[in-house]
């Protein structure tokens, strides 16, 4: 079963479109076991209300891929959830391939990659490895931070047509032509979600980070066309993470 199909199944079973961003602030401590325990405990508390978990460098750097993060990935799978590695792959093809192979070997169901590097000798090897293993590749289209316009929002020339086009629209077109498993578009920019949705339609689901701490709202993102919400600090830094996740999940069930 493809990654897209497994995400749909997990979302349906959990009645949730929330992808938990399992991120924590920097801890100036050599006691990494404490961080691992904290991550596993939070996952246990909120797992009924999410359909997948995204891991970034917040855990990868201090815990290591196979020393600690793989343990969390196993927990994620045991709970019937999917694991996404937010590595933002963005190098030459041979390096990208090795990164993808290691992340998939650790159990991740999908990786996030940056389409800036292009296809040939860029992301093509990543897609080939992912397809061979029935894993997913999610592309960045428009990030959630304030300076996203400096890169993703710049006007570029479409090499095929010669027309001027926003970079994020070109990335959305690449997501369709490359048969990507998703695109990331910040919930802080509903207008960009809406515009990108017009390109990808239902073919490539939109994943939207930036709800809560960065000012985006779940309602606006969903109305604009987002399929999944990537939520981190609103849950992970809440006094009661389970209650926070439950509240957002309830709004998922109430949507029309």
88 is catalytic: yes
Which residue among 79, 88, 223, 246 is the active-site one? 88
Q: Which residues lie across from 149 on neighbouring strands?
A: none
Exposed/middle/buried for residue 191 (C-beta within 10 Å: 0-12, 13-18, 19+): exposed
Torsion 81-69-221-25 (CA) sign? positive
Cα 106 from Cα 65, distance rounded (Å): 7
At 166, list the tokens: 């926003």
At 4, list the tokens: 């897209």
Phi, psi of 230 (to 5 degrees): -95, 115
Which among 237, 193, 205 has a CA at the least distance from the CA of 20? Answer: 237
Phi, psi of 27 (to 5 degrees): -120, 115
CB 140 within 8 A of CB 115: yes
Which among 82, 135, 81 has a CA at the least distance from the CA of 113? Answer: 135
The catalytic residues are 88
């Amino acid at each position: 079963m493809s990654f897209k199909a497994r995400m749909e199944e997990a979302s349906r079973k959990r009645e949730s479109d929330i992808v938990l961003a399992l991120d924590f602030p920097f801890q100036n401590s050599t006691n990494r076991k404490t961080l691992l325990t904290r991550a596993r405990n939070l996952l246990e508390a909120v797992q009924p209300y999410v359909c997948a978990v995204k891991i970034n460098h917040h855990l990868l750097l201090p815990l290591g891929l196979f020393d600690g993060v793989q343990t969390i990935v196993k927990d994620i799978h045991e709970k019937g959830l999917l694991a996404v590695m937010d590595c933002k792959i963005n190098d030459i093809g041979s390096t990208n391939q090795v990164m993808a192979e290691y992340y998939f070997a650790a159990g991740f169901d999908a990786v996030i990659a940056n389409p800036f590097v292009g296809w040939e000798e860029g992301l093509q090897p990543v897609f080939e490895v992912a397809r061979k293993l029935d894993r997913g590749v999610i592309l960045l289209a428009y990030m959630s931070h304030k300076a996203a316009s400096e890169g993703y929002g710049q006007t570029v020339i479409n090499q095929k047509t010669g027309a001027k086009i926003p970079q994020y629209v070109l990335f959305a077109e690449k997501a369709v032509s490359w048969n990507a498993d998703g695109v990331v578009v910040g919930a802080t920019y509903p207008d960009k979600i809406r515009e990108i949705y017009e390109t990808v339609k239902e073919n490539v689901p939109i994943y939207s980070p930036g709800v809560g701490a960065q000012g985006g709202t779940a309602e606006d993102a969903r109305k604009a066309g987002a399929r999944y919400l990537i939520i981190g600090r609103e849950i992970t830094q809440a006094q009661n993470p389970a209650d926070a996740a439950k509240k957002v999940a309830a709004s998922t069930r109430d949507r029309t």
